[in-house]
Amino acid sequence: SGFLPQLRNGLIKLGVPTEILEFLSKWNNAGEEQLAIPLAKGAISAIRSQAFFIPLYELYLTYGGIFRLTFGPKSFLIVSDPSIAKRILRENSKAYSKGILAEILEFVMGKGLIPADGEIWRVRRRAIVPALHQKYVAAMISLFGQATDRLCEKLDAAASDGEDVEMESLFSRLTLDIIGKALFNYDFDSLTNDTGIVEAVYTVLREAEDRSVAPIPVWNIPIWKDISPRQRKVTVALKLINDTLNNLIAICKRMVEQEELQFHEEYMNDQDPSILHFLLASGDDVSSKQLRDDLMTMLIAGHETSAAVLTWTFYLLSKEPSVMSKLQNEVDSVIGDRFPTIDDMKKLKYTTRVINESLRLYPQPPVLIRRSLEDDVLGKYPIKKDEDIFISLWNLHRCPNHWVDAEKFNPERWPLDGPNPNETNQNFSYLPFGGGPRKCIGDMFALFETVVAVAMLVRRFNFQIALGAPPVEMTTGATIHTTEGLKMTVTRRTKPPIIPKLEMPALKVDGDSSITKQQSP
């Protein structure tokens, strides 16, 4: 690369006219552009028929870590290479926006933290991230426990009646109940009730998902909103959610005004530890549309993702009884019959690996969406501004060259005493929460939420795919859903005798520090 500028300088000194120099440099650039990104052909029909990330996996095996896919006039770059993913998400993240994603989600998230770009994103990220401080996440553990306990009661009743249960919708309700309390101290109570507001949330969610897979954006046609019954229903649902949010914001504002508590770094109101409370106390404007957009964004981000993780974790567990029994052993010995605490999160190591591994096989969402804001070089290929890019977490997480037995649900692939796998220590081959500046802000929240739920559920019940249940197949909106639900037979576990845990004093053996504590079996 040093050669060409040198040549140019040499030619200038020799008095070669600039026209000729420019011609030479264009010719040189044209030479670079001959490195064309592989083009996947004839794949369009395959894409429509099933969850779209499945054919992308086949194409990845044929065309490699970056290839172009065209649909008529539209074209996408599909990225499945860890170093290119790292370039886009971390090293040169400034050069990329959320692109199509922001366009699709605008009707519900507005300029909320997920779709927002540029200055709005920067300001809001800085305002919101501090709300999820350590003390907050620790306080959430008991909320996770209480909500899961309500689900346990429901399952207990089903077990008594010998009725099979559809777990996917129950998980969706569990995580909705949790995120409502966690975000704005509101009890949707969707595990027990089907109120209008719960239905409104689902109407909006389904619409967001349908839009993200719809080939033609009919909702952009101005009169469509007024004549389509479905769009009218969406408008009504959005209004109900917004009115509810306004009401919650007003209630919270009054609480903030009456409290004596000074705002500080780990500020938290014990009666109402919600993120909304933190934001209002920190000085967020009650009347702003931005606050509503951010709450709505987090409601959706923190609801469907965690529900999908639980759904696929239980599906995977039902296929691997040996993992299930190891998991149950750990949970029995660590939490027994009590509610999990923050200290247990460190001890539930195998449970954590089960979630890590479930997130590898079923990443939520399975692809990340970006658009280039300027020219860049991806791998060895120069790309232009305005390219729409899909980064396939599905492909990265199942790459047959990178993972041993990539398709196998094997929580043991990460040693229990090693670090929790993340995008940094796995060098972007594993990035269930994304990476770089746009990384998920709810990663610890979500990890603890799913660990608590799994631990409490497998402690009390055994789960099997119900006899005669429909086959468990995938479909996508924003996250991976089943096509026909996850129908399971839930049975109470016959409790093993509870062995009181002996906390032995640390054994001091000369020259051997590895024997420190005696664990009960």
Residue number closest to ligand HEM, CB atom: 442
Residues in the chain: 521
Nearest in space to 298 (alpha carbons), one of 130, 107, 114, 142: 114
Determine the 3-state secondary structure of 151 from DSSP. Answer: helix
Kindly tell me which of 68 and 438 has the beta carbon lying closer to ligand HEM. Answer: 438
Beta carbon of residue 74, minimum distance to ligand HEM (angstroms, whole number): 20
Spatial separation of the C-alpha atoms in residues 53 and 385, rounded to whole Å = 24
Name the residues that contact ligand HEM, by CB under 6 A: 113-114, 125, 297-298, 301-302, 305-306, 309, 364, 368, 432-434, 438, 440-442, 445-446
152 is in an annotated binding site: no
Beta carbon of residue 275, minimum distance to ligand HEM (angstroms, whole number): 7
Kindly tell me which of 309 and 335 has the beta carbon lying closer to ligand HEM. Answer: 309
Question: Measured on CA atoms in the order 475, 479, 484, 490, is the torsion positive or negative?
Answer: positive
The burial of 13, by beta-carbon neighbours within 10 Å (0-12 exposed, 13-18 middle, 19 or more buried), is given as exposed
Under 8 Å CB-to-CB from 497, ≥6 apart: which residues? none
Kindly tell me which of 332 and 371 has the beta carbon lying closer to ligand HEM. Answer: 371
Beta carbon of residue 281, minimum distance to ligand HEM (angstroms, whole number): 18
Spatial separation of the C-alpha atoms in residues 314 and 309, rounded to whole Å = 9
Query: DSSP per residue over 112-146, as a string?
Result: -TTT--HHHHHHHHHHHGGGG-HHHHHHHHHHHHH
Beta carbon of residue 516, minimum distance to ligand HEM (angstroms, whole number): 33
Extract the tokens encoding 225: 């909103």
Kindly tell me which of 158 and 446 has the beta carbon lying closer to ligand HEM. Answer: 446
Strand order through the sheet with 39-40: 39-40, 66-71, 74-79, 388-392, 367-372, 96-97
Beta carbon of residue 385, minimum distance to ligand HEM (angstroms, whole number): 19
Q: 196-213 vs 229-258: helix axis angle to the nearest 10?
A: 120
Beta carbon of residue 174, minimum distance to ligand HEM (angstroms, whole number): 13
Beta carbon of residue 91, minimum distance to ligand HEM (angstroms, whole number): 14
- Taking CA atoms, 269 is separated from 110, 124, 261, 415, in Å, by 28, 21, 8, 38
| Amino acid sitting at position 170 | L
Binding-site annotation: residue ranges: 440
Binding-site annotation: residue ranges for heme: 440
